[in-house]
Amino acid sequence: MNIINAAAYARYSSDNQREESLSAQLNAIKDYCQKKGYILTNVYTDEAKTATNDHRKGFQQMITDSELKLFNVVVVHKFDRFARNRYDSASYKRKLKINKVRLESVLEQLDDSPESVILESVLEGMAEYYSKNLAREVRKGLLENAKAGIHNGGRTPYGLKVNPITRKYEIDETRYKAVQMYFNGVAAGIPLAEIARRINAEGFRTYTGDKFKVTSFDTWANNRKYKGDYAWDVATKKDAEGKRNSHAKKPIEEQTIIPGVIPAIIPTELWERVNALMKERQRTGGSMTAKETYLLSGKITCGSCGANYFGEGYNSRGRHYAYYKCSGKCGNNGVDKYKLEKMISEMLEKTCFSEEGMEEIKDNVKKLYADRKKNIDSEIAPIKNEIRKLELKIDNWLELIGEGTPDKRLFAQKVSEANERKTLLESQLTKMNVIASSQTIDEAILIKVLKAKKDQLLSSNEEDRKQVFKEYVDKVVINTVNDQTIIELCVRCFNGGGEGICTPVSKSCHKSVYACILYFKFRQS
């Protein structure tokens, strides 16, 4: 087995109160190295009084030492510790790469450089593609489980439990009566708050040990497991933040439902009645207020004061207006939301998602993919390990909560944090498995994935479009020159792209960071 030597680099500036201390960063790095089996050989630190007075002697020493092959990996707590900005970061990373030293972060699996973001995005698309088209055996296995009433992972509904040996669902004798009280209550027209009060009065508590509230029942009326049916494969695809929306479900005709394999808590007739009642209530309750989606939120900075732009809409004389405005109140021009988004969408179409653009992305992703494949096995093992450990911890904490520990709030918080971390790790694992399972990337699939991404850009679903903006727009800077609004757009792209329709004033292409910068005049009217 190869011995991997690691260097730790930590940086702290005392004017930023929210940073982890040097020793906290170093401890996290030590743990990380131990987990991955690295030998920590060198430690470099920088402590700055202010961020501007930042000579970073330790950092420079580390870069110099990397030439001497003293270590194979540099580990930081977070990637933002490594360099002060992305362009700085790209050039130092190249130096490390030349010296055959790689950079890893304790908290993030991949850095946020444009090339990584795009590789991640493509891998995600491929993982989805494989899970739909190729991983039939896995799905078949899950389906077999469902048919036998065996737990497939995921949260167990309140009132049911999973037998640790058979993995089958069973009725939770200590809790199922609360579920019956809810269904009977709704059917009898009792308000939800009153139902919650009665359930609490009987001494029932939620899984986290809290009293029931109206919102505790959100998914109950929809849960087919209560009438004994195993509804499998019900989750919708992930939202813009990459999280699954646990409340949004596929339409019933797309779900796989296996009736009667779970012991029923609620008779079918009662379940159907309550389900219909709650649907009706949701349909009529509350008027839908249209929520504006700002596709560029977090991407725009002000060219004159450096603050972020934010989205703001208002109604006037029966019309709706929406703008991006400088949060620094420096007086720099605001820009019309719809016009700017339309322009940038068209720019993306002409650069990243042109035929040549997609070819370029394909070629570069292939290279990045081959690079990552070299280390993939050593990356997968620690992730699997951490997931297993998290699962054990979660079980332990839930048990403590169930036993009524006085620190139940603390433990409930720990459980939810651990679950979040677990979800993140699992999604990384899926992507890594894509890399590990195939020798080379399948070009045809890759192009399909990119075309699907283009369709997503052109779709009418705002959340879908926002996701594409999030991945492919690096940054937008708004400048005012001679009363003209000049937009500086940096797209994550591997080629220079076309001239665009927005009169580029000048164009420079930073091949080194695979980001293309286009300048164009913005016509307000």
Q: Which residues bind Zn ion (CB under 5 A)?
A: 302, 305, 307, 326, 328, 330, 332
Q: How many CB atoms lie within 10 A of CB 379?
A: 17
Q: Quick one: 71 or 294, whose CB is closer to Zn ion?
A: 294
Phi, psi of 268 (to 5 degrees): -55, -45
Least distance CB 308 / Zn ion (angstroms): 9
Residue nearest to Zn ion (CB): 302
Question: Pick from 167, 169, 144: which is nearest to 227 by CA?
Answer: 169
* Integer Cα distance of 487 and 477 in angstroms: 6
* Integer Cα distance of 377 and 435 in angstroms: 10
Q: Quick one: 77 or 299, whose CB is closer to Zn ion?
A: 299
Least distance CB 311 / Zn ion (angstroms): 15
Could you tell me the CA-to-CA distances from 371 to 3, 122, 425, 512 in Å, in that order?
A: 20, 15, 21, 17
Least distance CB 320 / Zn ion (angstroms): 25
Least distance CB 441 / Zn ion (angstroms): 43
* Integer Cα distance of 492 and 112 in angstroms: 11
Q: Quick one: 98 or 305, whose CB is closer to Zn ion?
A: 305
The answer to whether 352 and 358 have CB atoms below 8 angstroms apart is: yes
- What's the count of helices (H) and strands (E) in the chain, helices before strands? 13, 16
* Integer Cα distance of 106 and 75 in angstroms: 7
Least distance CB 278 / Zn ion (angstroms): 48
Least distance CB 304 / Zn ion (angstroms): 5
The answer to whether 180 and 158 have CB atoms below 8 angstroms apart is: no
Least distance CB 326 / Zn ion (angstroms): 3
| Tokens found for residue 437 | 């399972």
Q: Quick one: 252 or 305, whose CB is closer to Zn ion?
A: 305
Q: Quick one: 332 or 345, whose CB is closer to Zn ion?
A: 332
Cβ-based burial of 1 (10 A; exposed 0-12, middle 13-18, buried ≥19): exposed
Count of alpha carbons within 13 angstroms of residue 299, beta-carbon side: 25
Strands 5-13 and 39-48, by their bridges, are: parallel
Query: Mutual orientation of helices 22-36 and 355-402 as an angle, nearest 10°?
Result: 100
Q: Quick one: 223 or 332, whose CB is closer to Zn ion?
A: 332
* Integer Cα distance of 224 and 210 in angstroms: 24
Least distance CB 481 / Zn ion (angstroms): 14
Least distance CB 479 / Zn ion (angstroms): 10
Query: Mutual orientation of helices 114-133 and 408-437 as an angle, nearest 10°?
Result: 80
Q: Quick one: 278 or 326, whose CB is closer to Zn ion?
A: 326
Least distance CB 327 / Zn ion (angstroms): 8
Could you tell me the CA-to-CA distances from 42 to 1, 26, 233, 386, 405 in Å, in that order?
A: 21, 11, 49, 25, 43
Least distance CB 84 / Zn ion (angstroms): 21
Least distance CB 478 / Zn ion (angstroms): 8
Q: What is the 3-state secondary structure (H, E, C) of 29-62?
A: HHHHHHHHCCEEEEEEEEEECCCCCCCCHHHHHH
Q: Quick one: 199 or 326, whose CB is closer to Zn ion?
A: 326
Q: Quick one: 275 or 485, whose CB is closer to Zn ion?
A: 485
Q: Quick one: 332 or 495, whose CB is closer to Zn ion?
A: 332
Q: Quick one: 305 or 370, whose CB is closer to Zn ion?
A: 305
DSSP-assigned letters across all residues of 232-280: ES-BPPP-TTS---TT-B--GGGSEEETT-S--SS-HHHHHHHHHHHHH
Residues in the chain: 525
DSSP-assigned letters across all residues of 298-340: TTEEETTT-PBEEEEEEEETTEEEEEEEETT-S-PPPEEHHHH
| Three-state SS at 518 | strand
Q: Quick one: 27 or 327, whose CB is closer to Zn ion?
A: 327
